[in-house]
Amino acid sequence: MGHPRKARKQYDTPSHPWNAARIKEENKLVVKYGLRTKKEVWKAETTIKRYRRDARFLWVWKQNMLK
């Protein structure tokens, strides 16, 4: 955990900024869900990525505990 007054980034930016396919997908999501910026798309993707990572960790942990 960090310092409570030190705000941290809540999103990860794309690794390659000018990927046409990714930009088109993000534009579709922005229009479909009425988002204001691409940052909101990245924030949601990062949140989902963290949930998936935690779920994989818990699944492996549970498998190891059953052995």
The 10s digit of each residue's pLDDT in 2-50 is 788 999 889 999 999 999 999 999 999 999 999 999 999 999 999 999 9
- Compute the residue count for the chain: 67
The whole model's pTM is what? Answer: 0.80
Residue in this structure with the two tokens 């046409």, named with its chain if needed: 20
Which residues are within 8 A (CB) of 43 and not within 5 positions of it... i.e. 6 or more apart?
Answer: 10, 11
Element (H, E) at 64: helix 38-66
